[in-house]
Amino acid sequence: YPSPMTPMTPITPATPASESSGIVPQLQNIVSTVNLGCKLDLKTIALRARNAEYNPKRFAAVIMRIREPRTTALIFSSGKMVCTGAKSEEQSRLAARKYARVVQKLGFPAKFLDFKIQNMVGSCDVKFPIRLEGLVLTHQQFSSYEPELFPGLIYRMIKPRIVLLIFVSGKVVLTGAKVRAEI
């Protein structure tokens, strides 16, 4: 029987030069953190904000959401805040500032220190099927493919340091980037 492993069609996602093919990944999610610079009383915030939930037994932070831009924030009692769900860097910054404003209005001397984008997630479609077994053969030091556990191939690129989830349908999810240029 012919060996099933030989990639008959050499279709593999290219190295970072794939951008020249005209496919631009769309940003799906940005995670950022900011320090509000003052200690917060989570109970006050949770009880006086409309869109906040706080369940101290389960998790020690207030979960607040705003509609525009549609994001969620985790606000900790130390004054640090994590903002997720924005689709662009500017939106993330705007959302973080809105949360800070809410906290300010609730009576805490909130500031806006050290806004930093921690993670950016993008996705794109290369529009052709990808042979994952062939990819794991040629790039085995970077790829990890376990069909029993996860249908996609996990490709850890060293430079830039991002992780790609590559699926056989041609869809690719990129994550782990700190700046847009990396994606």
**Closer to other proteins at the Cβ: 23 or 128?**
128
Q: Provide the token pair at 61.
A: 């932070």
**Closer to other proteins at the Cβ: 131 or 180?**
131
CB of 14 to other proteins, least distance (A): 18
Distance from C-alpha of 51 to C-alpha of 79, rounded to nearest angstrom? 18
CB of 183 to other proteins, least distance (A): 21
**Closer to other proteins at the Cβ: 2 or 10?**
2
Residue 100 and residue 92 in contact, taking contact as beta carbons nearer than 8 Å: no
Smallest CA-to-CA distance from 54 within 65, 43, 41 is with 43
CB of 155 to other proteins, least distance (A): 13
**Closer to other proteins at the Cβ: 8 or 17?**
8
Q: Which residues contact 51 (CB under 8 A, 6 or more apart)?
A: 64, 65, 66
CB of 67 to other proteins, least distance (A): 9
Contact set with other proteins (CB under 8 A): 1-2, 4-5, 8, 37, 46-51, 54-57, 66, 68, 90, 93-94, 97-98, 100-102, 104-106, 110-115, 125, 128-133, 136-137, 140-141, 144-149, 151-152, 167-171
CB of 27 to other proteins, least distance (A): 16
**Closer to other proteins at the Cβ: 108 or 183?**
108
Distance from C-alpha of 113 to C-alpha of 52, rounded to nearest angstrom? 22
The SS3 of residue 158 is coil
As a residue count, the chain comes to 183
Q: What are residue 134's phi and psi, to 5 degrees?
A: -65, -40
